[in-house]
């Protein structure tokens, strides 16, 4: 049984039908990349998983447990962490306070097993710049630092799966490379990652498997290696 599974999901924004009969699976410990152009349905997919854009039909399960119909906070407590594209740090709280807001203490009734709970020191080890900024207000950080803080804050909830929506969007090339290395370190810990992206280069060394979305449907799925070897597919769906 897959850790996370979407089966025949249809999602809407108002009367606009966005996801069409979408199915995909995520296995524990793998990195899965949802690729596609703007408007392909990538963000709607992760929002549907998190209960922020609940599907009108279909099934979403985490470890066999149904998620459809649950509020987003319940889904988060079951072990799904979401890093939105717009980051949403608390601008008037310090870095330390942003992390403390999300901290899940050991043994506080978590609905999923936590082998190594994330702490301030653990996220500072992953993102050293945040340690030097720990007393700085979130709203005064650079875009790259805010992205790191958002990921670190989400990790403080000890997720089983980390969903990242366009994590490289709007960041300078040097910051993108640093972020890629940091996500690579997360992958090495065995944490399951799901990334939506348009930047193929960013995910090429991270991903295990690829789903290509177009107009709310899965058009292609393969291993990352097969995808990188298929120039025709990249040109057809991503124009790269």
Distances (CA, A) of 10 to 42, 150, 210, 227: 13, 29, 20, 26
The per-residue pLDDT for range 104-150, each reduced to its tens digit, is: 754 444 555 555 689 999 999 999 999 999 999 999 999 999 999 99
Q: How far apart are CA 34 and CA 105, in angstroms?
A: 32
Q: Is beta strand 16-26 parallel, antiparallel or unpaired with respect to 4-13?
A: antiparallel
In-domain check, residue 229: yes
In-domain check, residue 123: no
Q: What is the mean pLDDT of residues 75-91?
A: 93
In-domain check, residue 71: yes
Distances (CA, A) of 57 to 2, 4, 9, 162: 20, 17, 6, 24
Is 139 within 8 Å of 101 (Cβ atoms)? no
pLDDT (0 to 100) of residue 129:
96
pLDDT (0 to 100) of residue 202:
93
In-domain check, residue 119: no
Per the structure, the complete domain to which residue 36 belongs is given by 4-86+159-238
Q: How far apart are CA 196 and CA 211, in angstroms?
A: 10
In-domain check, residue 101: no
In-domain check, residue 154: no
* Total-model pTM: 0.92
In-domain check, residue 182: yes
Q: What CATH number corresponds to the domain at position 52?
A: 3.40.50.300
pLDDT (0 to 100) of residue 105:
57
Number of domains present in the structure of the chain: 1
In-domain check, residue 29: yes
Q: Is beta strand 31-35 parallel, antiparallel or unpaired with respect to 209-214?
A: parallel
């Amino acid at each position: 049984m897959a850790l996370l599974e979407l089966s025949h999901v249809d999602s809407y924004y108002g009367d606009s039908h966005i996801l069409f009969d979408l199915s995909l699976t995520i296995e524990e410990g793998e990195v899965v990349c949802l690729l596609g152009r703007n408007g392909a349905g990538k963000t709607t997919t992760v929002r549907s998983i998190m209960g922020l854009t609940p599907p009108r039909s279909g099934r979403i399960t985490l470890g066999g447990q149904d998620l459809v119909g649950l509020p987003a906070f319940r889904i988060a407590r079951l072990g799904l962490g979401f890093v939105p594209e717009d980051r949403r740090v608390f601008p008037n709280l310090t870095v330390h306070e942003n992390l403390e807001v999300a901290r899940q203490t050991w043994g506080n009734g978590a609905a999923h097993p936590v082998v190594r709970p994330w702490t301030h020191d653990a996220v500072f080890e992953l993102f050293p710049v945040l340690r030097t900024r720990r007393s700085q207000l979130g709203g005064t950080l650079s875009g790259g630092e805010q992205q790191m803080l958002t990921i670190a804050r989400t990790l403080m909830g000890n997720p089983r799966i980390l969903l990242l929506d366009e994590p490289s969007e709007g960041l300078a090339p040097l910051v993108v490379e640093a972020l890629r290395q940091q996500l690579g370190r997360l992958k090495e810990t065995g944490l399951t990652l799901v990334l939506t992206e348009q930047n193929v280069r960013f995910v090429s060394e991270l991903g295990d498997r690829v789903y290509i979305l177009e107009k709310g449907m899965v058009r292609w799925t393969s291993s990352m290696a097969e995808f990188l070897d298929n120039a025709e597919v990249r040109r057809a769906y991503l124009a790269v």
